[in-house]
Amino acid sequence: MYIKRLKLKAFRNYAEEELEFSPLTNFIYGNNAHGKTNILEAVYLFAQGRSHRAKSDRELIKFGEDQARLTLEFSDSSRDYIADMRISASGRKAININHVPVAKLSKLMNYLNVVMFSPEDLELVKGSPYFRRRFIDSAISQLYPSYLASLMEYHKVLEQKNSLLKALRASGAAGDPTLSVWNEALAAAGSKLMEARAEFTEHINSAAGRIQEEISGEKLIIKYLPSIKCADITSEGLLDYLSARERREIELGSSQYGVQRDDLEIYVNGKEAKLFASQGQQRTAALAMKMAQAEYIEDIKGEWPVLLLDDIMSELDLSRRMYLSERIRDKQVLITSTDTDLVEGGTDTRLFHIENGRVI
């Protein structure tokens, strides 16, 4: 799939701007703080329904304005789309695709898929389990809305269970019948999530392993590390597991087991990457995981996603850069950089020089 044209009005530091993209490489360059990432953020919004960095949608509206308006034209192998988004000061977003309102933001993922790479992706390897869960959840949710629905249901119930556990602990009570109601709901949603995560990790492991091997000759292994270690990952199996541990959770006053504590184990050349891999090896592993995610989208949807590379070229050494350039040569990619020396590519490369919220 590819994006053709982006129009921005009162979005971030853009008053009014229009960009027409090449179906291949688009190189967005300019000095710090002039608005390069804002462009990628706008495209990402159309794929994911929310910004990859803003806490509130209101931040997206240009200072002093009361509404931002964005339009994105894009195509996949079967048809053309025009998507229109208005973000109002109340923080509400209204989105139309081909002039039909999109009722739920999660529906956007049915249309446009993107994979964003940024320097913060190093956290995938180095950071807390939160970053790896977020990677898994966002990757699977992009393709399976039912996963997102289970995830939201799970977290809603988890919150209720946690307040109950807290109250039980405070009152010194031994139990409460509602606890098993929450555990049943968590087991039902949790078993679906665990199954999807295990399957996704297998996919990512084999693709990322091959990619890391191609880039650096190193052996990358990614394993799913579920918080609940039980042989029977069915709703019943998980319920038994949770029920057997009710006492302990009441004692501690919070939920101790479940997908909210899952993680991925990442090994480079047999050693745990978080602890032993060099910064460069960690970066390569993160890149391999993101490329694997792009391949996964292609496998499932039959469409290669739009790649958004935010400021990562300067962080890669020459051989990794060359690998990446080769890999993305026939794909659409938006690359930001402060450094024009990194521009490479043929006649299909389009350059955007960004200065103070303008393409000049």
Task: Name residues contacting ligand ATP, limited to 299-328 (CB under 6 A).
Answer: 311
Q: Which is nearer to ligand ATP, 97 or 307 (CB)?
A: 307
Q: Which is nearer to ligand ATP, 163 or 314 (CB)?
A: 314
Q: What is the DSSP string of 73-93?
A: EEE-SS-EEEEEEEEETTS-E
Asked if residue 35 binds ligand ATP (CB under 6 A), the reply is yes
Q: Which is nearer to Mg ion, 36 or 126 (CB)?
A: 36
Q: Which is nearer to ligand ATP, 12 or 126 (CB)?
A: 12
Q: How far is the CB of 6 from ligand ATP (least distance, A)?
A: 14
Q: Which stretch binds ligand ATP (CB under 6 A): 59-67, 131-139, 184-192, 342-350?
A: 59-67
Q: How far is the CB of 353 from ligand ATP (least distance, A)?
A: 11
List, in order, residues 6 or more apart from 296 with CB less than 8 Å away. Answer: 139, 143, 200, 203, 204, 207
Task: Name residues contacting ligand ATP, limited to 323-342 (CB under 6 A).
Answer: 336, 338
Residue 87, Cα to own-chain centre: how many angstroms? 21
C-alpha distances out from residue 274 to 125, 126, 267, 283, Å? 6, 5, 8, 11
* Residue 100: exposure state from Cβ atoms within 10 A (0-12, 13-18, ≥19): exposed
Which one of 56, 63, 101, 231 is in contact with ligand ATP (CB under 6 A)?
63
Asked if residue 33 binds ligand ATP (CB under 6 A), the reply is yes
Q: Which is nearer to Mg ion, 121 or 249 (CB)?
A: 121
Q: How many residues bind ligand ATP (CB under 6 A)?
A: 17
Query: 201-219 in b/e burial notation, b at 16+ Cβ within 10 A?
Result: bebbbebbbebbeebbebe
Region of 311 on the Ramachandran plot (φ > 0 left; ψ -120 to 50 alpha; else beta): left
- Please give the single-letter amino acid code of residue 225: L
Q: Which residues bind Mg ion (CB under 5 A)?
A: 36-37
Q: Which residues bind ligand ATP (CB under 6 A)?
A: 12-13, 30, 32-38, 59, 61-63, 311, 336, 338
